[in-house]
């Protein structure tokens, strides 16, 4: 036979091999001594020859995954030689094989026959652009061609073809991405972006954070979620958003990245770059980031651990790891996660861009949809701010604590607190242990002591901790601690249990601790501390005194003496208040010559006053002092109220501006 070219001969032999049932490859060639051109080719069965197992490159190193032996010394071949006419003629042919041939329904698996035809490429391109993955595309091809053997290639070939497609498209689109980021930075110098490697390269990892994202981190960066499983574009690149939770329980953005690869070095670069964008500042403790990035996290955020054993193949550990959702949360309850486990049930972090970005989104489209997603999230936050500032929640109890918190928290977080407060009505708290400083209460529903929670309460410090650790995890008090507060007469929420990040002033530049400006609240808190301390000591005294008649008599006498001392202390306190509030503050009058007016009667300080007159005058001056103190507190409260009104007005103006901006964008 004669062929017009070497390629024609190769195609013929490969076509013959497909019909017979074997794969081919080019074995050897001979060149012309005159001009070096190839003048002879040999095409052989892919099973020709034997693998060299003594190669120097494999001699001194361990082969972890040895490849299957495929060469068995088959002699089948076709040799062609170029003639002076330029045509190629068959110069040798061996038909026999020393191995079994492949049946027709498996020929498409052989390497030399796995070729994607032009029509198949067109169909793959179309389906890939629609966001379909290799597996679904192969299913469509099999249905289209009537069977896998008629498709002519495997899913691996389809995957490789799609990867090459993505790489070619990616290089152009990455450049568009960089152009967009440069434009955003030119418009606002607070817009941050970075590229791993040289900025003019189109193959490096990319990170960016807009000004709002950087500001959000200042307010709500106490907990950070990072996840690369959110592959949102047609290149299947890991789109990695850094997110958190704002004071309304809504997800907020702290920055985004596109990762070309997911190597350890990529994550080290990304975490360091993110920290730079956040001004190099970590909140109270290192961000809570998914542990699959352990090595990178230890380099950037933590000290290395000595526990680095390779346990990936340990069956028991793998079983435990696969069930981690059932046991890991128990070990995280003492760490603050800002209610994330609760908010994720209704507003998952991974849903931040859902409805805007999907697998078919290319990078050219990405930022238009990305900006729409940000606008939508911003609009939801503005709406939540408006509802918090302009509507009052419905109170379900007469508790002063509920009213107090309703004026501090945002509507969403108040609803969560209210849920816990109302839940206390089904719980009973009984004293289980008392060590003199800390009282332990058992808190459970009636008849469910086997499901009890235990609350430790320090009366003097007004601090409580519950075995459920809800406050440590979410920053909100649980119903179990609130039940203990109810039975111990704690009427308002102590200041250290009100986290600013959950209040309506979470993003305020003016530091207004509203719970400290409430005079009534301060009074209740201080009175409650004194009341609980005295009651605690009195109960211990009564328990001991009632044991026998002798201890009872001694206790009764002690109580009578104590009552006299308390009465004496009350009188001394009143006299001290009179001196501090009246005489010592009057520098224009000689204290030795002061005249006291009692009704219409004037008495010289040098003259003797009866005890009744003195007591009467003390009461009058004490009342004046109390009235003056009340006026001062009212003035102070009014001043803080004015500052609060200014801050509220500032926030409302900000909301109106945001609404106008959103309306203008919608109009455009």
Is 495's pLDDT higher than 70?
A: yes
Mean per-residue pLDDT, 214-229: 84
Greatest mean pLDDT among 30-34, 254-258, 630-634 = 254-258
Confidence of residue 46 (pLDDT cuts 50, 70, 90): confident
Is 3's pLDDT higher than 80?
A: yes
Together in a domain, 247 and 318: yes
Residue 551 is predicted with a pLDDT of 86
pLDDT in tens, 117-141: 778 888 887 887 777 878 888 888 8
Match 């009179």 to its residue by tokens: 578
- What sign has the CA pseudo-torsion 448, 454, 460, 463? negative
Is 73's pLDDT higher than 80?
A: yes
HSE (side-chain half, CA atoms, 13 Å) at 490: 22
Residue 7 has which token pair? 């390629």
- Could you tell me which residues come within 8 angstroms of residue 502 by beta carbon, excluding any fewer than 6 positions away? 247, 409, 410, 413, 475, 476
- 3-class DSSP state of 178: helix
Residue 520 is predicted with a pLDDT of 44
In a domain, 163, yes or no: yes
HSE (side-chain half, CA atoms, 13 Å) at 223: 22
In a domain, 535, yes or no: no
In a domain, 665, yes or no: no
Is 575's pLDDT higher than 90?
A: no
**Distance from C-alpha of 174 to C-alpha of 182, rounded to nearest angstrom:** 12
Mean per-residue pLDDT, 548-573: 83
Total tally of structural domains belonging to the chain: 4
Together in a domain, 368 and 410: no
Together in a domain, 153 and 243: no
Residue 529 is predicted with a pLDDT of 62
Q: Are 377 and 241 in contact (CB under 8 A)?
A: no
**Distance from C-alpha of 25 to C-alpha of 48, rounded to nearest angstrom:** 9
Confidence of residue 155 (pLDDT cuts 50, 70, 90): confident
**Spatial CA neighbour of 6 closest among 44, 42, 46:** 42
Confidence of residue 634 (pLDDT cuts 50, 70, 90): low
DSSP states along 189-223: TT-EEEESS-TT-SSS-EEEE-HHHHHHHHHHTTS
DSSP states along 522-580: HHHHHHHHHHHHHHHHHHHHHHHHTSSHHHHHHHHHHHHHHHHHHHHHHHHHHHHHHII
In a domain, 642, yes or no: no
Residue 587 has which token pair? 């520098």
Confidence of residue 53 (pLDDT cuts 50, 70, 90): low
Is 491's pLDDT higher than 70?
A: yes
Residue 67 DSSP code: P
Confidence of residue 406 (pLDDT cuts 50, 70, 90): very high
- 3-class DSSP state of 79: strand
Residue 411 is predicted with a pLDDT of 93
**Distance from C-alpha of 619 to C-alpha of 612, rounded to nearest angstrom:** 11
Q: Give me the chain's average pLDDT, please.
A: 77
Is 440's pLDDT higher than 50?
A: yes
Is 437's pLDDT higher than 60?
A: yes
Q: Are 2 and 87 in contact (CB under 8 A)?
A: yes
Around Cβ 520, how many Cβ atoms within 10 Å?
A: 13
Residue 602 is predicted with a pLDDT of 43
In a domain, 33, yes or no: yes
Distance between first and last Cα of the chain: 71
What strands lie across the sheet with 77-82, from one edge to the other?
Answer: 2-3, 88-94, 77-82, 38-45, 24-31
In a domain, 611, yes or no: no
Residue 589 is predicted with a pLDDT of 37
Mean per-residue pLDDT, 402-415: 93
Together in a domain, 199 and 173: no
Lowest-confidence range among 13-22, 155-164, 498-507, 554-563? 155-164
- Could you tell me which residues come within 8 angstroms of residue 528 by beta carbon, excluding any fewer than 6 positions away? 462, 489, 490, 491, 492
Residue 600 is predicted with a pLDDT of 42
Lowest-confidence range among 79-83, 345-349, 479-483? 345-349
**Distance from C-alpha of 402 to C-alpha of 233, rounded to nearest angstrom:** 47
Confidence of residue 345 (pLDDT cuts 50, 70, 90): very low
pLDDT: is 282 or 233 the higher one?
282
In a domain, 149, yes or no: yes
Is 248's pLDDT higher than 80?
A: yes
Together in a domain, 228 and 327: yes
Percent of the chain with pLDDT over 70: 70
Together in a domain, 353 and 213: yes
pTM score, whole prediction: 0.57
Residue 301 is predicted with a pLDDT of 64
Neighbouring-strand partners of residue 571: none
Residue 587 is predicted with a pLDDT of 39
Q: Which of 187, 217, 252 is the last residue of a domain?
A: 187
Lowest-confidence range among 122-126, 340-344, 362-366, 584-588? 584-588
Greatest mean pLDDT among 201-210, 384-393, 568-577, 656-665 = 384-393
Is 414's pLDDT higher than 90?
A: yes
179: containing domain: 114-187
Together in a domain, 294 and 324: yes
Together in a domain, 357 and 462: no
Is 375's pLDDT higher than 50?
A: yes
pLDDT in tens, 97-112: 998 888 877 777 777 7
Is 538's pLDDT higher than 90?
A: no
Residue 519 is predicted with a pLDDT of 45
Q: Give the CA diameter of the chain.
A: 148
Together in a domain, 359 and 416: no
Together in a domain, 183 and 195: no
Q: Which of 187, 220, 240 is the last residue of a domain?
A: 187
Q: Measured in whole angstroms, how far is the alpha carbon of residue 388 from the centre of its chain? A: 24
HSE (side-chain half, CA atoms, 13 Å) at 429: 22
Confidence of residue 579 (pLDDT cuts 50, 70, 90): low
- 3-class DSSP state of 649: helix
Together in a domain, 238 and 273: yes
Across 326-421, where does the E strand assignment appear?
A: none
Is 553's pLDDT higher than 80?
A: yes
Mean per-residue pLDDT, 198-203: 52
Confidence of residue 286 (pLDDT cuts 50, 70, 90): very low
Residue 12 is predicted with a pLDDT of 92
Q: Which of 132, 161, 187 is the last residue of a domain?
A: 187
Confidence of residue 396 (pLDDT cuts 50, 70, 90): very high
Pairing of strands 88-94, 24-31: unpaired
Mean per-residue pLDDT, 175-179: 82
In a domain, 649, yes or no: no
Confidence of residue 28 (pLDDT cuts 50, 70, 90): confident
Confidence of residue 415 (pLDDT cuts 50, 70, 90): very high
pLDDT: is 40 or 237 the higher one?
40
Together in a domain, 203 and 168: no
Mean per-residue pLDDT, 162-175: 70
C-beta pairs of 272-277 under 8 Å, 24+ apart in sequence: 272/300, 273/194, 273/196, 273/207, 274/207, 274/209, 274/242, 275/300, 276/192, 276/194, 277/192, 277/194, 277/207, 277/209, 277/214
């Amino acid at each position: 036979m004669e062929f017009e070219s070497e390629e024609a001969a190769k195609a013929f032999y490969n076509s013959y091999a497909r019909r017979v049932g074997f794969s081919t490859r080019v074995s050897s060639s001979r060149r012309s001594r005159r001009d070096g051109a190839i003048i002879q080719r040999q095409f052989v069965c892919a099973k020709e020859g034997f693998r060299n197992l003594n190669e120097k490159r494999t001699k001194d190193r361990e082969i972890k995954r040895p490849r299957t032996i495929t060469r068995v010394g088959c002699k089948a071949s076709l040799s062609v030689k170029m003639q002076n006419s330029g045509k190629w003629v068959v110069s040798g042919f061996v038909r026999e094989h020393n191995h079994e041939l492949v049946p027709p329904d498996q020929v498409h698996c052989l390497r030399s026959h796995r070729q994607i035809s032009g029509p198949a490429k067109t169909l793959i391109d179309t389906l890939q652009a629609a966001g379909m993955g290799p597996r679904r595309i192969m299913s469509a091809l099999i249905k289209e061609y009537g069977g896998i053997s008629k498709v002519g290639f495997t899913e691996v070939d389809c995957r490789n073809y799609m990867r090459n497609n993505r790489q070619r498209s990616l290089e152009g689109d990455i450049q568009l991405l960089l152009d967009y980021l440069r434009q955003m930075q030119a418009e606002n110098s607070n817009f941050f972006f970075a590229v791993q490697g040289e900025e003019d390269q189109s193959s490096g990892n990319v990170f960016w954070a807009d000004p709002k994202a950087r500001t959000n981190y200042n307010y709500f960066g106490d907990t950070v979620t990072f996840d690369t499983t959110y592959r949102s574009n047609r290149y299947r690149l890991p789109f990695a958003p850094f997110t958190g939770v704002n004071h309304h329980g809504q997800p907020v953005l702290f920055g985004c990245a596109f990762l070309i690869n997911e190597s350890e070095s990529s994550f080290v670069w990304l975490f360091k770059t993110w920290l730079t964008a956040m001004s190099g500042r970590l909140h109270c403790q290192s961000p809570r980031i998914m542990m699959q990035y352990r090595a990178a996290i230890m380099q950037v955020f933590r000290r290395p651990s000595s526990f680095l054993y390779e346990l990936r193949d340990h069956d028991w550990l793998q079983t435990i790891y696969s069930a981690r959702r059932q046991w890991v949360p128990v070990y995280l309850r003492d760490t603050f996660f800002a209610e994330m486990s609760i908010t994720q049930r209704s507003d998952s972090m991974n849903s931040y861009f859902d409805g805007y970005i999907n697998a078919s989104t290319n990078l050219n489209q990405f930022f238009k949809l990305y900006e729409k997603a940000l606008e939508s999230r911003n609009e939801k936050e503005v709406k939540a701010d408006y509802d918090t500032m302009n509507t009052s929640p419905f109170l379900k109890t007469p508790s002063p604590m509920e009213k107090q918190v309703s004026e501090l928290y945002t509507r969403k977080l108040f609803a969560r607190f209210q849920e816990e407060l109302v839940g206390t009505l089904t719980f009973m708290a009984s004293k289980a242990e008392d060590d003199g400083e800390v009282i332990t209460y058992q808190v459970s529903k009636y008849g469910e002591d086997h499901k009890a929670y235990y609350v430790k309460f320090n009366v003097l410090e007004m601090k409580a901790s519950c075995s459920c650790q809800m406050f440590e995890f979410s920053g909100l008090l649980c119903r179990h601690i609130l039940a203990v507060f109810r039975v111990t007469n704690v009427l308002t929420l102590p200041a250290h249990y009100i986290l600013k990040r959950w209040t309506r002033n979470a993003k305020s530049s003016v530091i207004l601790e509203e719970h400290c400006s409430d005079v009534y609240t301060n009074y209740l808190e201080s009175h409650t501390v004194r009341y609980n301390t005295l009651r605690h000591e009195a109960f211990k005294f009564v328990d001991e005194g009632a044991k026998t008649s002798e201890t009872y008599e001694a206790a009764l006498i002690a109580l009578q003496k104590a009552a006299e001392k308390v009465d004496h202390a009350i009188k001394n306190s009143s006299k001290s208040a009179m001196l501090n509030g009246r005489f010592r503050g009057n520098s224009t009058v000689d204290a030795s010559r002061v005249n006291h007016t009692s009704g219409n009667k004037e008495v010289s300080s040098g003259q003797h006053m009866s005890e009744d007159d003195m007591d009467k005058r003390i009461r009058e001056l004490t009342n004046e002092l109390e009235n003056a103190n009340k006026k001062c507190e009212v003035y102070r409260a009014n001043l803080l109220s004015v500052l609060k009104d200014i801050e509220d007005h500032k926030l409302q103006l900000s909301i109106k501006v945001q609404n106008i901006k959103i309306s203008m964008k919608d109009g455009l």
